[in-house]
Amino acid sequence: MTNLTDLADKYGSDKGSKKHRYTELYHMLFQPFADQQINFMEMGLLIGGPEHGIDADRKTTDLPSIRMWLEYFSKAQITGLDISDFSWFSHERFSFVRCDMDTRDGIAQATADLPQMDIIIDDASHASHHQQNAFLTLFPKLRSGGLYIIEDLRWQPPAYEKDGITKTAALFQSYQQNREFAHVDTDVADEFNGLRKDMSGCFVFQVKYQKQRRDQVIVVHKR
């Protein structure tokens, strides 16, 4: 089997050895799915966009990680979700959904017709409320045994981040430490705690897997 890190480097994805090294973890997690007919979603398809002060209607020219996923998951249906337009990319196993992550209603409407997913990766704006909106909306669409991953926890975009909001890393660390989610918004905390019964495992990894560094990626396994 082709190694996922090799594919990331081949297509220029920042998930590979050149930067984040996420694919070292993902290859272990995803290998059992590689030749299965699964539904896979990635949110956030190309570096740049409003989180970096670039207009959402920017011209997009590549899909590095989607090309990687299509080769790695030989039978998967891949859904890409982004605030910018990637509808120009055509592949029989790829579909695109354009979506702003700012509200849960918007995410729910954009994804209403999608099937249940086996793997979901949030590599979108990295704003805390966007990550939390997406999880609360989409974790219920994950199949039993599925994986939900949130990347790039250590950075939040100034253009989007709300003052005083509980960071996503801190939110999941509270669950790991106390088996209960703590959030400055008690309604958000209650909604996350309502999902605990469906979570069989939650793991937080630091930058380049070095324990002394900041939290970087979360993996949640659905019961």
pLDDT in tens, the chain (223 residues): 789 999 999 999 999 999 999 999 999 999 999 999 999 999 999 998 898 999 999 999 999 999 999 999 999 999 999 999 999 999 999 999 999 999 999 999 999 999 999 999 999 999 999 999 999 999 999 999 999 999 999 999 998 999 999 999 999 999 999 999 999 999 999 999 999 999 999 999 999 999 999 999 999 999 9
Identify the burial level of 162 via C-beta atoms within 10 angstroms of its C-beta, where 0-12 means exposed, 13-18 middle and 19 or more buried: exposed
The active-site residue, picked from 20, 52, 91, 126, is 126
Rounded Cα distance, 177 and 205, in Å = 14
Q: What is the pLDDT of residue 91?
A: 98
Rounded Cα distance, 11 and 202, in Å = 29
Cβ 43 vs Cβ 134: under 8 Å: yes
130 is annotated as an active-site residue: no
Cβ 200 vs Cβ 223: under 8 Å: yes
Token pair 């409320």 in the structure block, residue: 129
Cβ 105 vs Cβ 135: under 8 Å: no
Beta strands in the chain (DSSP E): 39-43, 77-82, 94-98, 117-122, 142-150, 199-206, 215-222
Q: How many helices (H) and strands (E) does the chain have?
A: 7, 7
- Single pTM value for the model: 0.97
Which residues partner with 168 through β-bridges?
A: none
Nearest-10 crossing angle of helices 128-138, 186-193 = 40
| Tokens (6 digits) for 22 | 């996420």
Q: What is the pLDDT of residue 144?
A: 98
